Amino acid sequence: MLQAEGSPFMTPASAKDADSLNSNTLSVALIGAEEFHRKPIAEALAGLHVSVVREFSTYPELDDVPRLLEADYDVIIIELDSNPEHALDLVENICGNSSLTVMVYSAQVFPDMLVRCMRAGAREFLTPPITPGTIAEAMVRAAVRRPAARLVKKVGGKSLVFIGAKGGSGVTTVASNFAISLAQESGKNTVLIDLNLPFGDAALDLGITTQFSTANALQNFSRLDSNFLSKLLIKHSSGLSVLVAPDKYTPIHASDEAIEKLLTVARQDFDYVVVDAGSSFGSTAKALFETSSTVYLVTQVSISELRNSNRLVAEFFASDRTKVEIVLNRYTPHSLGIDEESITKALTLPASWKIPSDFPAAQQAQNTATPLVLDDSPISRVIRQMARTACGLPAAPGKKKRFSLFG
């Protein structure tokens, strides 16, 4: 690390300060195209008490930065040498839109590059040899700079809502498998809430049974709190928490107030709240969509479903399209003679995800109550990547060449 006298990158730190990381954990993103240069930093970080360390072997595009920031890293470390100009653009973009600490590393030190990094907002300039002690001191400084608010557990997890353009679109299959993948990939607390009332099938798909359901939460929303909700949930073997729909026909008038209360309480306790809203969400749409981070509109390539999808997009998402992602389920290219251009025109925006058609695999999964994502298949790979994107992770190794936090 550059140790020049009076350098804006330096803040005094002693070796014993590294101990403070024991109670001040940090999450770190390490971005670098060259493994040879990235490896020493990764190894040094591995010995520290950081909560999350994610390595990325390619640079993100500037358009990807907002999603990168949503992952809520405390520190982002960026290699300069592979593409200095793009790396500096990244540093400036990240620093201009967040208060996290950005560090850069390079095998060479040039005064003009040091000044440019400083102006872009970088707080540390790391150079070989990068030792565990060097990294520890840099992390201590980053912990000191971190706003106090970040030291407290965040209140308000992300709500991810799945809706269908029509009954039979496969919303429950996609939502339940997505929720399992999200819990596994993110390593964070995740809950699936079945609001596909009155006939939700998430419990059936997951092979779970319980005496409590969404009905208990909505019918008693005035006294719903964290303790009450915890008693209604059941844990799936994958680690996912689930609030199932009633297993018997139960007429429920779900008011906006009841839906909002349920989601608010769930978001206080869980990092991710996945909602299966089915295709009959009706008057509850406002409560569902207003607080959601992303709405996944699940549809198939048929005239009626594309028409319904067009209506939903026009009604709920015309003014904020970044909030909706189209999922083409059971997708077969040129199905019914409809090409991608025609699909995009019908939907008024491009599909974000295409889940391939594999009826035998889906049927076996339903018959055995074994989630598709627990096995490797074309379907599971797409759903797993949806989940990785939702929690800010790159594409699975070997699937994509570019830095791909986002599908």
As given in the structure block, the two tokens for residue 44 are: 């040094």
For residue 326, the SS3 value is: strand
**What pLDDT shows up at residue 243?**
95
**What pLDDT shows up at residue 282?**
65
**What pLDDT band is residue 11 in, cutting at 50, 70 and 90?**
very low
- The string of pLDDT tens digits covering residues 174-202 is 999 999 999 999 999 999 999 988 888 89
Give dist(CA 385, CA 389) in Å, integer. Answer: 6
- The string of pLDDT tens digits covering residues 309-341 is 888 888 777 666 558 899 999 888 766 667 788
Residue 206 confidence (pLDDT) above 60: yes
- The string of pLDDT tens digits covering residues 141-183 is 888 877 654 544 444 789 999 998 888 888 999 999 999 999 9
Please give the full DSSP string across 59-104, using - where no structure is assigned: PPPGGGHHHHHHT--SEEEEE-TTSHHHHHHHHHHHHHS--SEEEE
Residue 98 confidence (pLDDT) above 70: yes
pLDDT higher at 243 or 157 = 243
As given in the structure block, the two tokens for residue 46 are: 């591995």
With pLDDT > 90 as the criterion, what percentage of the chain qualifies? 29
With vertex at residue 284, the alpha carbon angle to CA 280 and CA 287, rounded to the nearest 5 degrees, is 140
Instruction: Provide the CATH topology of domain 15-151.
Output: Rossmann fold (3.40.50)
Residue 281 confidence (pLDDT) above 80: no
Domain residue ranges in the chain? 15-151, 158-390
Where is average pLDDT lowest: 191-200, 269-278, 363-372?
Answer: 363-372
Question: Please, are residues 312 and 319 in contact by the beta-carbon 8 Å criterion?
Answer: no
User: Does CATH place domain 158-390 in 3.40.50.300?
Assistant: yes
**What pLDDT shows up at residue 181?**
95
Report pTM: 0.60
Beta bridge partners, 192, equal 242, 274
**What pLDDT shows up at residue 24?**
55
DSSP H helical segments within 291-372, as ranges? 303-312, 340-347, 359-368
Residue 10 confidence (pLDDT) above 60: no
**What pLDDT shows up at residue 13?**
34
Asked if 15-151 and 158-390 have one fold, the answer is yes
Averaged pLDDT, 239-251: 88
Query: The tokens 């009826």 sit on which residue?
Result: 359
Residue 22 confidence (pLDDT) above 60: no
**What pLDDT shows up at residue 16?**
40
